Structure 1
Amino acid sequence: MEERGSSGAAGTASGLFEAAEALRRAGDEAVAAADYCESQFVRHSDKVGVTNNSKASALRCFESVAAAVAGLSAEFSAAVEAEAARVGKLETRSATVFQRARMEKLSSSFAAAQESSVTLHSATRGPMSFKLQPPHQASS
Structure 2
Amino acid sequence: MLIENRDRKLLRAIGLYQRHRHRRDPLSRLKCGWGKLGHVWWSLLSGCDISRDAQIAPDTRFPHPGGIVIHARAVIEPGCLIMQQVTLGQLDTGGAPVVRRGAYLGAGARILGAVEIGAGARVGANAVVLKDVPAHSTAVGIPARVVARRDPD
Query: Could you say whether these structures have the same fold, taking a TM-score greater than 0.5 normalized by the shorter chain as the test?
Result: no
Bigger radius of gyration: 1
Q: Which has the higher contact order (CA 8 A, sep 6+)?
A: 1
Structure number having the greater strand percentage = 2
- Which TM-score tier does this pair reach, normalised by the shorter chain? under 0.3
TM-score by length of 1: 0.28
Instruction: Decide which structure has greater helix share.
Output: 1
